[in-house]
Structure 1
Amino acid sequence: MKNLWILSLASLGLSCSALANSSSPSYDCSKAQGSIEELICQSDELSTLDRQLQPLYSQAIKQLSSDDAQTLKAQQRGWIKGRNDCWKADDKTECTLTSYQTRITELQISTASIEVPSATYYVCNNEAAFKLSVYFYNDTLIPAAVFSYNKAQQLSEPAVGLLTRTASGAKYQAQNATLWTHQQEATLTLFDQPPMNCKIQK
């Protein structure tokens, strides 16, 4: 699925101002199923996010091969299920809002609707052959970092980390990895492994 994150820069143009003028989601509210879909219909903010997500998802499908498109469709169904599970949350609106913001950020990156930044390269654990590459996205809905590492000529799958609150530096949380950056240094922590210390390659 690497090509989900390495797509053509010739990408879709979204008019966020036009989307913001709509007060209804992308689906028919008279056919809303479940409390979360009903909640979205009642919220201008959530409705706008729903309408912003739809063209991004459609564009991503068009840019992929048949097999990868099927994978993305399955991921989207999983995302919808997770969004609808927000009915279990104490703050249903905040849960749904975060779900949309996260998914839109992922799709903004995968469709290249946000300009791809230049990569920043790090050397980790003082090993010249252990390199970390990071693309810092500051213009996505949630600031994000797409990072992967090359160790012993083995390239990892790209991970998408979303910026989270931290006392100092910047912390990007991915599904099974955490990237913390501060000035010229970074700390990469993979699931159930010791942290790796990295410094910007000069």
Structure 2
Amino acid sequence: MRFLSLSVALIVFSTRAFALDPSFDCAKAGSSAEEAVCASDALAALDLELARVYGLAATSDLSSERLNELKATQRGWIKGRDECWKSSLGLEACVGNEYAFRIAELRQGYAGAREGDGPSEGPFPYVCEGMDAPLSVTFINAEPPRAVVGMQDGTRVLVAGPSGSGVRYEGIDMVLHTKGKEAAVEIDGAASQCMQDDIG
């Protein structure tokens, strides 16, 4: 019995020893959202990607006014993320969504944030049958993979689920199934075929 307890203790220790560290010091976590990031490799991976993308945006060729705007919106985002303890989605899901939204927002708004290699890609425009405007899709290839879909009526975060081929991203009222440059989207039960457009 003692050997079993020691083995379990070693497994727990080794799991923690190899946990992913976020961009901030977990010993100084100042909110339940930051504590959730420190307790989850999935959230820590999103935090590291956001830090990378934000760093690229901040060190690109921005005017002082644009840089001040970037810093102010980041402070506002942190305050919003820290309000996730109030969310009906649950703390971890809300924090994950907030990170995904912010990564997509930075990639959309700052060309510098799209440089280098990392788990996020896009945004890519998808032209869909029956839709007046293209979808704007940013992919975050962390675990689990996410797609942030910008539409005329707002932005949604979809999470990858089981799929026979391609990748199927699911949300509350939307499904996006991608395969190469082709995609199928379903919103409130209405389906449409889409194609990734060339970025000019």
Task: Give the TM bin, normalised by the shorter chain.
Answer: 0.5 to 0.7
Q: Equivalents in 2 of 1:24, 1:135: separation in Å?
A: 33
* Alignment deviations for residues 5-64 of structure 1 (CA, whole Å, 9 cap, x no partner): xxxxxxxxxxxxxxxx86111011111112221221111111111111101001111232
What does 1:1-202 align with in structure 2 at a 5 Å threshold?
Answer: 23-63=20-60, 64-90=62-88, 91-110=90-109, 111-113=113-115, 114-115=121-122, 117=124, 134=134, 136-137=136-137, 139-140=139-140, 141-145=146-150, 161-162=155-156, 165-166=172-173, 169=185, 183=192
* Alignment deviations for residues 160-183 of structure 1 (CA, whole Å, 9 cap, x no partner): 733654368555xxxxxxxxx964
Q: Equivalents in 1 of 2:174, 2:81: separation in Å?
A: 29
5+ residue gaps, structure 1: 1-20, 125-131, 148-158, 172-180, 186-202
Give the structure-2-normalised TM-score: 0.54
5+ residue gaps, structure 2: 1-17, 116-120, 141-145, 158-170, 176-184, 195-200
Q: Mean alpha-carbon deviation: is it higher for 90-99 or for 49-58?
A: 90-99
Answer 1 or 2: higher relative contact order, Cα 8 Å, separation at least 6.
1
Contact 2:126-2:135 at 8 Å conserved across structures:
yes
Give the aligned CA root-mean-square deviation in angstroms. Answer: 3.6
> Identity percentage over the alignment?
31
Residue-pair matches, total: 140
User: Which AA in structure 1 matches 2:100?
Assistant: Q
